[in-house]
Amino acid sequence: MQNQPFRAVVSDLDGTLLNGNHVIGDFTIETLEKLSQKKIDIILATGRKYEDVAHIVGKVKLDNAVLITSNGARSHNLQGKLLLSNSLPDAIAMEIMQTPYDKKNVFVNSYQEEGWFISLDMPELAKYHQDSGFMYQVVDFNQHHGRETEKVFFIGRTPADLAPIEAHIAQHFGEHVYMTYSTPQCLEIMNKNVSKATALAKVVTNRDYGLNACIAFGDGMNDVEMLSEVGKGCIMGNADPRLVQTCPQLEQIGFNRHEAVASYLRATFGVY
């Protein structure tokens, strides 16, 4: 173990570990399996919901892994045991769901214990979940509930569509929530102090190493804290430009469509 440059690999999924078709490629699967055999911890940190990620990681033969989901609102081990849960307060979740928005250009979503809910049918989202088949239920959020809300997120046709929503939430709930962008067109709201970084910090408290022994990969603004706090953070070539501007000190690697994370890991750990 002392010869390994890092003890854990931490990776975002969409735009990072998953390829251009939003699935995990064979080259990446083989790479993660080889690292696991070397007793390197594999930690996936994503905005996706646990049920979605569990199916993806099920394609990889791993002895151990941690799944940080909903941007840090939940963490599970490979066996499905819940390690961390941090939901929005019910009343605040409900109020956020009622945020005024342009219904022609914005769709509101929630991840809750019962599933994924959305304000309007968006079949084009299915391409992101073809591996797992995990999909939404269309609901009227005026008649919905706020129980066990991992996150509320707004998908806009353009980034400009989300600016007034961000301003509204910052004004009314700024002290109570953590707000970030997973992509330029997806604004996400979790409970205060929820992030991939805070969840990761809690995961490694149960290890014999710290955050400085982790190497992490990401492409979105919801990866900023995680990439900044580990021993080495790497930004994808296809990353949100705001992430590159926010973290200019971090190395930028190749593109997710070329499975660049796997290539980088093989070079870093001497795995071929």
CA-CA distance, 212 to 92, in Å (whole number)? 35
**Residues 181, 239 contacting (CB under 8 angstroms):** no
Catalytic, out of 12, 52, 219, 240: 12
For residue 115, what are the β-bridge partners?
Answer: 112
Which residue type, as a one-letter code, is found at position 71? N
Catalytic residue check, 12: yes
List, edge to edge, every strand of the sheet that includes 115-118. Answer: 137-138, 115-118, 106-112, 149-156, 186-191, 177-183
Burial code (b: 16+ CB inside 10 Å, e: under 16) for 62-101 equals: beebbbbbbbbbbbbebeeeeebebbbeeebbbbbbebeb
Query: How far does CA 208 lie from the centroid of its chain?
Result: 25
Beta carbons within 8 Å of 143's beta carbon, 6+ residues apart: none
Catalytic residue numbers?
A: 12
